Amino acid sequence: MAEIKNYTMNFGPQHPAAHGVLRLILELDGEVIQRADPHIGLLHRATEKLAENRTYIQSIPYMDRLDYVSMMMNEHAYVMAIEKMLNLKVPIRAQYIRVLFDEITRLLNHLLWLGCHALDVGAMSVFLYTFREREDLFDCYEAVSGARMHAAYYRPGGVYRDLPDHMPQFQNTRFSRPNVTHKLNENRQGSLLDFIDDFANRFPKHIDEYETLLTDNRIWKQRTVGIGVVSPERAIELGFTGPMLRGSGIEWDLRKKQPYEVYDKLNFDIPVGVEGDCYDRYLVRIEEMRQSINLIKQCSKWIRVNPGPVISDNQKYAPPKRQDMKEDMESMIHHFKLFTEGFHLPKGEAYAAVEHPKGEFGIYLISDGANKPYRLKIRAPGFAHLSSLDEMTKGHMISDLVAIIGTQDIVFGEIDR
């Protein structure tokens, strides 16, 4: 009898389920995966090296482009590391704004994850529904920073500017009908906070909509229950964080365990899974979206009644007001120094991490006292998750591999950096 050999298949980087540029070498026995070998580096842009040649502020936009679906969270870890080294105090209002936008970012990320995961498993409509809601969240980004994705909104010492009083409106074009435009502008009449509140009020209904399509769907359950099971002990050993870890039943969330900004003043729960399979991780992330809405509402309520500065008044590190620059010599010098030379960090090192939608996103910064980092190391949660792919997929079929890539919520911007 002829010897039966395993079948080697190249999966990606040009594959609809590769989430960008994942390349896998699969060893298959029929359709059953014996070994999955991820090859990374196809989106490597040397962010860490680039940061060594730029002043601290110049590197903020690079952070947006790491995990390009949760932009502001990446900035957050970066500015937190700088603030930690400088002992720079962030005004309380800025902290609330940061939490507000962190949670908006979490929604952005989870919506993209949900849509792509469902699309990978074959449910097409969910993808388009989630993108409809993402559009509104991008509008929030746009209103506050001018950019729809790569915001560069967080700065060392606070945020770039206060929340705007009005929302940008849709304009009539020769392709649009006036009554449609009017309808689109209906919830954009007030301030950004009004728009966010309106969104927060209707979004739970949208989550219900996704859940009616998926949660109790027999096919969805057959495709996710018992797939890619990771035991709690193994999840810790593998360095899992975020929903991947919580899906396995470990209650670990930096927002609760090492509270940063104002998370200790806010009221929210951490959902955890039981089985550690794809379905539990799905439920965990769905519940996280509901908790995020809860947090957004609390922040928005606080921000409404507590005006104040949104960036530190220490002009060595935060730009002075434009008005002051016209009259005050010192402010003008600060401004000039800040945007040419940039500020210097004291000699030393710091690690700051945030609870990123994907897990623990950390920035490890070493300074030799210059105006740019000596070394910047990015701790990307997706990297640890992807390294477990072989273990999670062993013995599953190709279709399950796709579901597992989906559940890991992989984005190559952060893995390849």
Chain residues that interact with other proteins, rule: CB under 8 A: 7, 9-10, 15-17, 31, 118-125, 128-129, 132, 213-214, 217, 219-220, 222-223, 397-400, 402
The answer to whether residues 356 and 244 touch, using CB atoms and an 8 Å cutoff, is no
Name the residue type at position 393. Answer: T
Beta bridge partners of 411: none
Closer CB to other proteins, 7 or 339, in the complex: 7
Closer CB to other proteins, 226 or 259, in the complex: 226
Q: How far out from the chain centre does Cα 20 lie? A: 16
We find the least distance from the C-beta atom of residue 38 to other proteins, in angstroms, to be 17
We find the least distance from the C-beta atom of residue 176 to other proteins, in angstroms, to be 12
- The string of DSSP codes covering 88-146 is PPPPHHHHHHHHHHHHHHHHHHHHHHHHHHHHHHT-HHHHHHHHHHHHHHHHHHHHHHS
We find the least distance from the C-beta atom of residue 169 to other proteins, in angstroms, to be 21
Closer CB to other proteins, 55 or 130, in the complex: 130
Closer CB to other proteins, 217 or 314, in the complex: 217
The answer to whether residues 302 and 333 touch, using CB atoms and an 8 Å cutoff, is no
User: In the structure encoding, which two tokens stand for residue 46, read together?
Assistant: 């040397």
Closer CB to other proteins, 125 or 169, in the complex: 125
User: Using alpha carbons only, how large is the chain's radius of gyration in Å?
Assistant: 23
- The string of DSSP codes covering 350-398 is EEEEEEETTEEEEEEEEE-SSSS-SEEEEE-HHHHHHHTHHHHHTT-BH
Alpha helices in 306-321 (DSSP H): none
The whole-angstrom separation of Cα 46 and Cα 364 is 16
Closer CB to other proteins, 205 or 326, in the complex: 205
We find the least distance from the C-beta atom of residue 362 to other proteins, in angstroms, to be 32
Closer CB to other proteins, 11 or 154, in the complex: 11
Closer CB to other proteins, 149 or 213, in the complex: 213
We find the least distance from the C-beta atom of residue 382 to other proteins, in angstroms, to be 19
We find the least distance from the C-beta atom of residue 124 to other proteins, in angstroms, to be 6
DSSP-derived secondary structure letter, 346: P
Closer CB to other proteins, 17 or 311, in the complex: 17
Which of 415, 399, 360 shows the shortest CA–CA distance to 20? 415
We find the least distance from the C-beta atom of residue 358 to other proteins, in angstroms, to be 20
Q: What phi-psi label fits residue 378: left (phi over 0), alpha (psi between -120 and 50 degrees) or beta? A: beta
We find the least distance from the C-beta atom of residue 119 to other proteins, in angstroms, to be 6
We find the least distance from the C-beta atom of residue 126 to other proteins, in angstroms, to be 9
Which of 393, 385, 392, 376 shows the shortest CA–CA distance to 46? 376
